[in-house]
C-alpha cells in the first residue's frame, strides 16, 4: 500500500529526521524525570518494589521470577504469575548498565516513548508522505494521556501496551499488503505477543477493536485469505506467549482476584467521563482523579467529531491519493473510516451511551476504569490529524490553496491544544527524590531472607515500612492465594520455620534461596507435628519429605505447613509452577518450533 517506488521502511533522510525528532520528543517527555528524578505517582510504591525484587531475583539466576520473594514481609506474593512481565523486563538492561532502580524506570519510559514513536511513523508511512509520518510520530509521543500514565498514574504496564499498538497495526497492514509472504505474519505475531506481555486490560480493549481491522482494510477480492493470515498471526501471538497468558488467565481461581474490583470506584460503569446522555441531562464526572482527564477527553471528542463530519461531506474521490497503488486505491479512506469508527466506540464507552455494556460482560469489569479506552484513542488521534494534513496537502497540490488552509489550521489547533495540555501535565509533576533515594539505599541493604526484627516501624511510600533495622515490603492482595488471610503488616517478623506451637527447637534451615527452601526437622513426639514456613501458600509451591512428594498444605492464616512424622526428616519446598504453568510453557515451545518448521518448509518450496 506504499507509493510506487517507495519502500515500507523509511529512507535515509527520513531516518535522520526521525531520529532527531524522536530524540527531541523523548527528552521532552522524560526531561522532568531526568533532571528531578522518578516522580511520585499512584503506583510508585509498586514500581519500586516490583523493580527491586524482579531485578534482584533475575540477576540471581531466576530467568522469569513469578513469585516475588521479598513481598509481604518475606512471605512472598505470586505477583508475576499474573501481572505481565514486559514492564519489568524493560528495566533489566538499564539495571545491568549500573543505573539505580529509579533511573532504570526512567530509562525504560524513554525507551517506551521511542518505540511508540517509531511504530507510529512506520504505520503512518504506509498511508502518508514522510513529513506527515514524522508529525504523527511526534504528536503520539507527547500525547497528554501517555504523559498522565507516566507522571500521575505510574502505569508503566499500560505505557508499554500503548507503545505496542501502532506496531500491531503496522504488522497487520503488512499482512494485508504482502499477501504472498510469510514474514508479515511473524511480525504480527511478535508485536501482538508483546502487547500480551504488557497489559491485560489494554490487550482486551484493543483486541475488541482490532478484529474489525482486517475485514475493513483488506481488498474484497482477498478478504478470505487476509482474514486467515491475520488470525494465524494472532493465534501465534497467543501461542508463543502461552507461558504467561495461560496461567495468568486460568489460575485466577487460586487467588483473591475479586480485590481488583473490591470498591465501587474500581468498576468502569462507575467511572464514566459523562453520564446522563441517554436522559438528555449530561453530567461530566466529578471524581477527584477523572476530572483531570476531561480536558483530554473533550479534545478527542472534538477531533473525532470534526473528522467524522469531513468523512460525511467529502466524496471518496476527493480524498483518494494519486500516489496509492492502483490495486488499493481507497486504502487510506478505509483506514480513516476505521480510525473514526473505533475512536467513536472508544469515546462512547466512556459515557452512559455504551457504558451499560460493562455490567453485561465480566471481562470488561476487569479494566476498572472506562477511561482506559484512551489508550486506544491516544494512538488513533495522531493518525486522524495526519489524515487532515494529507488532505490539505492534496488540495494544495491540486491548486485549491484556500481550501487547503482549513485542514492545516485544524491540525495546528489540535496540536497546539494537545501540546499545552502536555506542558500542563509536566508542570504538575511531583517528585520526592529523598524517598526514591531512601528506597534504593534500604533495598540495596536487604539480604534474603532476612526481614526486619525490631519494632516499631514507620509507613513508607504507602504500603511499605521502615524499621530500625531495615525495609519491609507489602504487595497487592489480589495476587495472594485464597487461603491467605494473614494481616499485613504482621505484629512481628516470623521465623523462617517454626512448629505450630511457635517453637523453633529441633529445626535447622539448610537452604533458603529464591524459589527453594530446605530444612531438617526432628519430631520427638509420638504423633506427626506441623511445621509452618514463612512463605505464603500457593499451588505452585511443591513439597517433598525425604524425597517423597506431599500435597502442599497451609495453616489457618495461609502459610505453607508441612506435617512432620516422628523422627528426623529432610524437607524440600520448591516453586515449580502449577499444571497450567507447564502446559503454557509447552504450548510456547511448540509454537516457536512449529513456526520455525513452517518457515523452513516455506523457504524450501
Mean pLDDT (whole number) for 432-439:
94
Q: Quickly list DSSP for 399-431.
A: T-HHHHHHHHHHHHHHHHHHHHHHHHHHHT---
Residue pair 595/238 in contact (Cβ under 8 Å)? The answer is no
C-alpha separations of 286 from 151, 271, 274, 314 in Å: 21, 10, 10, 38
* 536: region left, alpha or beta (phi > 0 left; psi from -120 to 50 alpha): beta
Mean pLDDT (whole number) for 332-339:
90
Please name the residue that has the C-alpha cell 508479515: 184
Cα-Cα-Cα-Cα dihedral sign, residues 152, 160, 170, 587: negative
As beta bridge partners, residue 465 has 459, 472
What order do you get walking across the sheet with 497-499 strand by strand?
Answer: 497-499, 529-536, 559-564, 553-554
Please name the residue that has the C-alpha cell 469531513: 310
Alpha-carbon 337 to chain mean position: 27
Q: What is the pLDDT of residues 21-37, one digit of tens each?
A: 999 999 999 999 999 99
- Grid coordinates given for 237: 501471538
For the cut 90, the answer to whether the pLDDT of residue 326 exceeds it is: no
Q: How confident is the model at residue 10 (pLDDT cuts 50, 70, 90)?
A: low
Task: Delimit the CATH 2.60.40 region(s) of the chain.
Answer: 497-580
Q: How confident is the model at residue 316 (pLDDT cuts 50, 70, 90)?
A: very low
As beta bridge partners, residue 497 has 533
Between the CA atoms of 289, 139, 19 and 94, what dihedral angle is there, to the nearest 10 degrees?
10
Q: What letters, b where the CB count within 10 A reaches 16 and e where it falls short, cover 358-387?
A: beeeeebbbbbbbbbbbbbbbbbbbbbbbb
**What is the pTM for the complete model shown?**
0.94
Q: How confident is the model at residue 12 (pLDDT cuts 50, 70, 90)?
A: confident
Annotate 14-59 with three-state secondary structure: HHHHHHHHHHHHHHHHHHHHHHHCCCCCCCHHHHHHHHHHHHHHHC
Q: What is the pLDDT of residues 122-168, one digit of tens each?
A: 999 999 999 999 999 999 999 999 999 999 999 999 999 999 999 99
For the cut 70, the answer to whether the pLDDT of residue 314 exceeds it is: no
Class of the CATH-defined domain 497-580: mainly beta
Closest by CA to 262, choosing from 410, 360, 368, 118, is 368
Q: What is the pLDDT of residues 276-294, one digit of tens each?
A: 999 889 999 999 999 999 9
Contacts of residue 97, Cβ cutoff 8 Å, sequence gap at least 6: none
Amino acid at each position: 500500500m506504499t507509493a510506487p517506488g517507495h519502500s515500507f521502511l523509511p529512507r535515509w533522510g527520513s531516518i535522520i529526521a526521525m531520529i532527531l525528532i524522536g530524540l527531541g520528543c523523548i527528552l521532552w517527555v522524560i526531561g522532568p524525570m531526568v533532571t528531578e528524578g522518578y516522580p511520585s505517582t499512584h503506583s510508585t510504591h509498586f514500581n519500586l518494589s516490583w523493580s527491586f525484587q524482579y531485578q534482584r531475583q533475575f540477576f540471581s539466576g531466576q530467568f522469569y521470577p513469578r513469585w516475588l520473594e521479598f513481598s509481604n514481609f518475606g512471605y512472598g506474593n505470586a505477583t508475576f504469575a499474573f501481572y505481565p512481565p514486559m514492564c519489568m523486563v524493560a528495566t533489566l538492561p538499564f539495571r545491568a548498565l549500573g543505573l539505580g532502580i529509579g533511573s532504570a524506570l526512567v530509562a525504560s519510559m524513554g525507551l517506551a516513548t521511542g518505540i511508540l514513536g517509531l511504530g507510529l511513523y512506520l504505520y503512518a508511512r504506509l498511508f502518508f508522505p514522510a513529513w506527515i509520518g514524522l508529525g504523527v510520530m511526534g504528536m503520539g509521543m507527547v500525547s497528554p494521556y501517555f504523559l498522565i500514565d507516566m507522571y500521575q498514574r505510574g502505569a508503566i504496564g499500560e505505557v508499554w501496551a500503548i507503545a505496542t499498538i501502532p506496531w500491531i497495526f503496522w504488522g497487520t497492514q503488512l499482512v494485508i499488503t504482502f499477501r504472498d509472504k510469510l514474514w508479515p505474519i511473524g511480525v504480527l505475531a511478535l508485536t501482538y505477543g508483546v502487547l500480551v506481555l504488557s497489559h491485560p486490560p489494554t490487550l482486551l480493549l484493543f483486541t475488541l477493536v482490532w478484529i474489525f481491522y482486517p475485514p475493513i482494510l483488506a481488498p474484497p477480492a482477498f478478504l478470505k485469505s487476509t482474514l486467515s493470515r491475520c488470525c494465524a498471526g494472532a493465534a501465534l501471538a497467543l501461542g508463543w506467549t502461552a507461558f504467561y497468558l495461560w496461567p495468568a488467565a486460568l489460575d485466577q481461581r487460586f487467588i483473591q482476584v475479586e480485590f481488583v474490583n473490591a470498591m465501587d470506584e474500581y468498576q468502569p460503569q462507575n467511572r464514566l467521563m459523562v453520564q446522563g446522555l441517554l436522559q438528555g441531562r449530561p453530567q461530566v464526572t466529578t471524581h477527584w482523579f477523572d476530572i483531570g482527564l476531561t480536558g483530554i477527553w473533550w479534545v478527542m471528542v472534538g477531533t473525532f467529531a470534526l473528522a467524522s463530519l469531513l468523512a460525511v461531506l467529502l466524496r471518496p474521490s476527493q480524498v483518494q491519493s494519486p500516489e496509492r497503488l492502483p490495486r488499493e486505491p481507497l486504502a487510506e479512506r478505509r483506514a480513516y473510516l476505521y480510525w473514526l469508527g473505533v475512536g467513536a466506540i472508544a469515546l462512547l464507552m466512556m459515557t452512559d451511551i455504551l457504558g451499560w455494556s460493562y455490567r453485561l460482560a465480566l471481562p470488561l469489569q476487569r479494566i476498572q476504569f472506562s477511561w482506559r479506552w484512551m489508550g486506544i484513542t491516544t494512538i488513533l488521534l495522531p493518525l486522524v490529524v495526519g489524515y487532515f494534513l494529507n488532505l490539505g496537502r492534496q488540495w494544495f497540490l491540486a491548486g485549491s490553496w484556500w481550501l487547503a488552509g482549513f485542514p492545516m489550521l485544524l491540525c495546528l489547533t489540535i496540536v497546539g491544544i494537545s501540546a499545552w495540555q502536555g506542558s500542563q501535565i509536566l508542570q504538575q509533576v511531583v517528585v520526592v527524590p529523598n524517598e526514591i533515594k531512601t528506597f534504593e539505599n534500604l533495598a540495596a541493604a536487604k539480604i534474603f531472607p532476612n526481614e526486619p526484627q525490631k519494632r516499631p516501624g514507620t509507613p513508607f511510600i504507602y504500603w511499605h515500612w521502615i524499621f530500625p533495622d531495615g525495609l519491609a515490603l507489602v504487595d497487592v492482595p489480589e495476587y495472594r492465594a485464597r487461603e491467605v488471610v494473614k494481616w499485613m503488616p504482621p505484629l512481628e517478623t516470623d521465623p523462617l520455620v517454626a512448629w505450630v506451637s511457635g517453637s523453633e527447637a529441633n529445626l535447622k534451615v539448610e537452604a533458603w534461596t529464591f524459589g527453594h527452601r530446605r530444612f531438617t526437622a526432628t519430631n520427638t513426639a509420638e504423633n506427626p507435628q506441623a511445621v509452618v514456613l514463612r512463605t505464603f501458600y500457593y499451588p505452585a509451591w511443591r513439597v517433598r519429605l525425604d524425597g517423597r512428594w506431599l500435597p502442599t498444605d497451609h495453616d489457618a492464616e495461609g502459610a505453607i505447613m508441612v506435617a512432620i512424622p516422628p523422627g528426623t526428616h529432610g524437607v524440600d519446598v520448591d516453586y515449580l509452577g502449577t499444571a497450567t504453568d507447564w502446559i503454557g510453557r509447552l504450548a510456547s515451545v511448540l509454537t516457536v518450533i512449529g513456526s520455525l518448521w513452517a518457515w523452513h518448509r516455506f523457504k524450501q518450496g
